[in-house]
Amino acid sequence: MNTEALVHLFHIIIVGALFIYVGIIKENIPKIMFPILFYLGIIIIAYHIYKVYSYMKLGKGYWINLIHIFIIGPTLIWIGYNREKTQRMFYEILLMLGFAAIGYHGYYLMKSM
């Protein structure tokens, strides 16, 4: 199995499931999840800033990385920082991102087979 397929599977099984879980359970998630979401958001932003820089040097497209930097990472940080006081809208955004991750990566996984 190639690396691209593993990335798709990771986003379908782990990322999509995590986002949907948090989006459904909302503020009732275990307390340990809030710092995990906070630091995960920081890691995602840092990693995708590096990827944008790398792709710009190579002349490749980097729009998906910008989505991670400006939407996914900040949403996770916001939920992790505000904990139980997070507005329900951010959980809905995370729920939508979970379904989007499963759909997007599922499509490209099937397309690559």
CA distances to 31, 32, 58, 102 from 96, rounded to whole Å, are: 22, 23, 31, 10
pLDDT tens per residue across span 54-84: 999 999 999 999 999 999 999 999 999 999 9
Confidence (pLDDT) at 29: 92
Give the count of beta carbons closer than 10 Å to the beta carbon of residue 46: 12
What span, in angstroms and rounded, lies between the C-alpha atoms of 84 and 94? 15
pLDDT tens per residue across span 86-111: 999 999 999 999 999 999 999 999 99
- DSSP string covering 18-67: HHHHHHHHGGGS-TTHHHHHHHHHHHHHHHHHHHHHHHHHHT---HHHHH
- Bin 61: left if φ > 0, else alpha if -120 < ψ < 50, else beta: beta
State the pTM of this model: 0.93
